[in-house]
Amino acid sequence: MVARHTFEEQLDSLHRKLLSMGSLVEEAIHKSIKSLVERNLQLADEVIKSDGVINSLEAEIESGCFQLIALQQPVGGDLRRLGTMLKLVTDLERMGDHAVAIAKTTRRLMNEQYVKPLIDIPLMADHVKAMVRDSLNAYIIRDTEAAAEIALRDDVVDKLFSTIFRDLIEVMSNKPQAINQGTHLLLVAQYLERIADHVTNICEWIVYMKTGQMTDLNK
Amino acid sequence: MVARHTFEEQLDSLHRKLLSMGSLVEEAIHKSIKSLVERNLQLADEVIKSDGVINSLEAEIESGCFQLIALQQPVGGDLRRLGTMLKLVTDLERMGDHAVAIAKTTRRLMNEQYVKPLIDIPLMADHVKAMVRDSLNAYIIRDTEAAAEIALRDDVVDKLFSTIFRDLIEVMSNKPQAINQGTHLLLVAQYLERIADHVTNICEWIVYMKTGQMTDLNK
C-alpha cells in the first residue's frame, strides 16, 4: 500500500488529466460547430487532428485508475471516485468522437451553399455546450443537485432536435437540391443530441460518486 | 479479504450476468430491425419495454464489480477482468439504447408505405448482429485474434452506411414524399453504425483484458 498523501497526489493527477480532457472536449464541440456555421475548413481539421490527444488522455486516465486501484486498494468514496473517472472518460471520449463527426460534416458540405442560414443547430449546440461545461463544474465541486438539474436540460435539447428534424424535412421537401445538406445537418443535430445524452450519464456518475447510489436521472 | 473460491464464484456470477446482458442486447437489435422491416408494432414495443432489464443489469454488474474490487482488492489479470466488465457494460447498454431508437422509428413510420423494400438496412444489420455475437463469443473465450478480426469488419459496416446514405439521398431527391421515411431510415443506419463502433470498443477491451495493452484496433 502507498502512503495516503501519495495516493491523494496520484488521484489529483488523474483528476487534473480528466479536467484537461473535459476542456479539450468542450473546445472540440465548440470548434466543430463554429467550423460548420462559418464553413471553416481549417477549424474542422483542427478538431479532427486533436482527437488523438483526447483518445490518449482516455487511455492514460484508465491506465492510471487501474494502477491506483491495484496499488492502493481503495474502498468506499475513494473507489467510487476512481470508478467514476473510469466511466466519465468513456463518455468524454465519445463526445470527442461526435465533435469529429460534426467537423467531417463541415468538410463534406464545403461545396454547397446553405439553403438557409444555420440558426437552430448553433442554438441547440449552445444548450449542449452549456450542459457539458456545467456538468464538468458539477463534477469538480461534487454538486449532486446541479448534476440532477443539468440532466433535466436534456429535455430542452430533445425538443430542439425534434424541431430541427421537422424543419429539415420541410426544407428538403420544398427544395430537393437541399437534400444532401439536409441529411448531413440532421446527423449533426443527432450528434449534438448524443452529446447531451453523454452529459446525462456524467451527471448520474457525479451522483453515484457522492452517494454510492446509481440513479436514472431522466430516462 | 475473501477466499479465492468465493472470489471466483462472485466473478463468475458477474460474468454470467454480463453474458445475459449481451444476449438481451443481441435480441433487442435483432427484434428492432425485424420490427422495422415487418412493420411489427408489437415487436417494437417489446424492444422498448425490455430496455429496463438491460439498464438494471448494467447497474447490478457495475455495483457488483465495485463491491468485488473493494472487498477482494484484486490485482493483475483479475483487476483487468473487472475493469473490462465495467467498460463492456457501458457499451452494451448504449447498444441497447440504439435498438430502442430503431424500434421507435418503427412506430414513427407505421403510417407510411415504404417507397422501396428495405434491403440494405437489414443487410447492414446482419453484419452488425454478427459482429455483436462474435465479439461476445471472443470475450467468453478471451480470443484476442478474433477480437482484432471482428474490429476490422467495422470497415464493411462503414461502407454499407455510405451506400445506404447515398441511396436514400437519391430516393428522396426523386420522391419528395419519401423524405420523412428517408430521414428516419438514415438515422436507423447511423444507429447500426454506432452499434458496430461499440463492438470495436468491446474488442479493444478483450485485448486489454488478456494483455494489459490498450490498443486502437481500427481508428
Q: Categorize the per-residue pLDDT at B219 as very low, low, confident or very high, splitting at 50, 70 and 90.
A: low
Q: How far apart are CA A169 and CA A164, in angstroms?
A: 9
> Which residue in A70, A97, A169 is closest to B75 by CB distance?
A70
The per-residue pLDDT for A2 is 59
More confident site: A50 or B214: A50
Interchain proximity B173–A173, CB inside 8 Å: no
What's the gap in Å between the CA of B180 and the closest CA on chain A?
6
Is A83 within 8 Å of chain B by CB?
yes
What's the gap in Å between the CA of A78 and the closest CA on chain B?
10
The per-residue pLDDT for A75 is 84
Q: Is residue A64 predicted with pLDDT exceeding 90?
A: yes
Domains, chain A, with CATH or none? 2-211 (1.20.58.220)
- The tens digit of pLDDT for each residue in B36-95 reads 999 999 999 999 999 999 999 999 999 999 989 888 888 888 999 999 999 999 999 999
Q: Categorize the per-residue pLDDT at A193 as very low, low, confident or very high, splitting at 50, 70 and 90.
A: very high
The per-residue pLDDT for A5 is 77
Q: What is the DSSP letter of B142?
A: T
Interchain proximity B180–A190, CB inside 8 Å: no
Q: Is residue A219 predicted with pLDDT exceeding 60?
A: no
The per-residue pLDDT for B96 is 98
More confident site: A4 or B55: B55
Residue A157 exposure: Cα atoms within 13 Å on the Cβ side: 27
What's the gap in Å between the CA of B206 and the closest CA on chain A?
15
Interchain proximity A79–B90, CB inside 8 Å: no
Q: Is residue A1 predicted with pLDDT exceeding 80?
A: no
Q: A183: which chain B residues are within 8 Å (Cβ-Cβ)?
A: 165, 168-169, 172, 182-183, 186
Interchain proximity B179–A172, CB inside 8 Å: yes
pTM over 0.90: yes
Is A86 within 8 Å of chain B by CB?
yes
What's the gap in Å between the CA of B107 and the closest CA on chain A?
16
- The tens digit of pLDDT for each residue in B161-181 reads 999 999 999 999 999 999 999
The per-residue pLDDT for A217 is 82
Is A80 within 8 Å of chain B by CB?
yes
- The tens digit of pLDDT for each residue in B122-162 reads 999 999 999 999 999 999 999 999 999 999 999 999 999 99
The per-residue pLDDT for A214 is 82
Size of interface A-B (CB pairs under 8 A): 77
User: Which of B80, B84, B94, B192 best tests the A interface by mutation, with the highest count of A CBs <10 A?
Assistant: B94
More confident site: A108 or B6: A108
Q: Categorize the per-residue pLDDT at A207 as very low, low, confident or very high, splitting at 50, 70 and 90.
A: very high
User: Which of A48, A88, A158, A172 best tests the B interface by mutation, with the highest count of B CBs <10 A?
Assistant: A172
- The tens digit of pLDDT for each residue in A157-190 reads 999 999 999 999 999 999 999 999 999 999 999 9
More confident site: A217 or B61: B61
What one-character-per-residue DSSP string does chain A give? ---HHHHHHHHHHHHHHHHHHHHHHHHHHHHHHHHHHHT-HHHHHHHHHHHHHHHHHHHHHHHHHHHHHHHH---HHHHHHHHHHHHHHHHHHHHHHHHHHHHHHHHHTTTS--SS---HHHHHHHHHHHHHHHHHHHHHHT-HHHHHHHHHTHHHHHHHHHHHHHHHHHHHHH-GGGHHHHHHHHHHHHHHHHHHHHHHHHHHHHHHHHHS----S--
Q: Spell out the residues 6+ positions from residue B186 whose beta carbon is closer than 8 angstroms to its own.
A: A183, A186, A187, B164, B165, B168
Average pLDDT of the segment spanning B192-211: 96
pLDDT, mean over chain B: 94
